Amino acid sequence: MTAKSKESCVICFGDDIDSDLMFLVDECGHRFCFNCVKKHIEVKLIDRMIPNCLVHRCESQLSFDRCGKFLTLKLSSMWKQRIKEDSTPLKERVYCPYQSCSYLMSKTELFSLFRYTHRKSCFKCGGSFCVRCKVPWHSRLSCTDYKKLHSRPQNDNYDVKLKSLAKLKGWRQCGKCQHMIERTSGCKHITCRCGNQFCYKCGAKWRSNSHQCGISDRLQNEVPRPQGRISWFQHVVPLAIDVMFCGLVVVVIMAFGDVELLCKGKSEAAPEPNIERGPSFS
C-alpha cells in the first residue's frame, strides 16, 4: 500500500493535507483544502455573489456541479438564485414584493403564464401581486386608483423619513435600482442584487481593484455612524479642549505673575545706592 502524497493549502497554510482532500479549480488549476473552499463558498453566496477562485484577483469561477458536496440545501438554492440573476437582464427582473420571499422572476415567464392580467403569482411563495405597481395585489382597486391613494406627496413624506432613518443608521442607497442597503460586516465593496457594484464608504461606482475614495467623496458622502455611538465623543472632546486651554491660560498668568513678583522683589531687595559726590570745581 503506497502512502498518500501530502500538499499544502495557500489559504490556511496547512502543510500536511492528503492530496485527495484538496479541491482543484478547473479553469485555473489552483488547489485548496476542502475546508477553505467550503467557507469561501458560504461567504460569497451570503454576499450575493457567485463563488470564484480563492486566489486574489483570479477571475476563474467555481463550478456548481463540482461544488455540490460542499453545499447544504440552503446554499444550493442561493447559488441557483445567483446564477439566475446573472442570466436575467436587469429590465426583465421582477422580484416578489413580499419581504419574506423576494424571489426573482422574469417578465417573460410571468406574462407567458398570466397573459391578460397584471395580477401575477409568485413562483415560490404563491403570493398574488401587481406586476405593474410592484406591490401585493390590490384586489378592489385598479392600478389608477391605487396610485391615487399613494400619491406623490405621501410618498415624498415616506422618502424623507426613509432617508432620515438611512442617515441615522448609516445605510447606503444603490445608485442603479435605488434599493436601500445596510452593511452588517465585511469590506466597503458592495454588490447590489441588481448587479451594481459601488463603494459603501463614498457611494461612488466601484472601480475594479484600484478603487480609492476621493477627498471630495469623503467630505460629501461619508457614511454617518449611528449617532448614539459617537455622542459621548462629540461632548468629551470639546470639553477636554476647553479644559486644556483654560489650564494653559492659568499657567501663562501664573508665569507672568511670578516674573512680576521676582522683579519687584529684586527692586525692593536691592535699592539704588546713594553715591556721595565730592565738591565740584567749576
Measured from the Cβ of residue 38, the count of other Cβ atoms closer than 10 Å reads 17
187 is catalytic: yes
CB 132 within 8 A of CB 143: yes
Homologous superfamily (CATH) of 1-64 is Zinc/RING finger domain, C3HC4 (zinc finger) (3.30.40.10)
Q: Residue 129 has what pLDDT? A: 93
Q: Is 5 exposed, middle or buried (0-12, 13-18, 19+ CB in 10 A)?
A: exposed
CB 25 within 8 A of CB 39: no
Q: Residue 249 has what pLDDT? A: 52
C-alpha–C-alpha distance, residues 218 and 196, integer Å:
20
pLDDT at 56 over 70: yes
pLDDT at 1 over 60: no
**Of 196, 191, 262, the residue nearest 47 (C-alpha):** 191
Is the pTM above the cut of 0.85?
no
Q: Residue 125 has what pLDDT? A: 92
Region of poorest pLDDT, from 19-23, 138-142, 203-207, 219-223 = 219-223
Query: In the block, which residue shows the cell 407567458?
Result: 112
Q: Residue 78 has what pLDDT? A: 87
pLDDT-derived band at 200 (thresholds 50, 70, 90) equals confident
C-alpha–C-alpha distance, residues 40 and 58, integer Å:
14
**Helix spans in the chain (H):** 34-46, 73-87, 107-113, 143-149, 152-169, 215-221, 227-269
CA 232 to chain centre: 24
Q: Is 257 exposed, middle or buried (0-12, 13-18, 19+ CB in 10 A)?
A: exposed
**Average pLDDT value for residue range 205-232:** 54
Residue-wise pLDDT for 83-137, tens only, equals 888 888 888 888 898 988 888 888 888 887 767 788 899 988 999 999 888 889 9
C-alpha–C-alpha distance, residues 79 and 228, integer Å:
38
Q: Where are the chain's structural domains? A: 1-64, 172-221
**Of 178, 152, 154, the residue nearest 166 (C-alpha):** 178
Q: Residue 41 has what pLDDT? A: 92
Q: Residue 62 has what pLDDT? A: 92
Enumerate the β-bridge partners of residue 180: 173
C-alpha–C-alpha distance, residues 258 and 201, integer Å:
54
**Which of 12, 58, 143, 187 is flagged as catalytic?**
187
pLDDT at 197 over 80: yes
Residue 215 corresponds to which amino acid?
A: I
C-alpha–C-alpha distance, residues 121 and 139, integer Å:
13
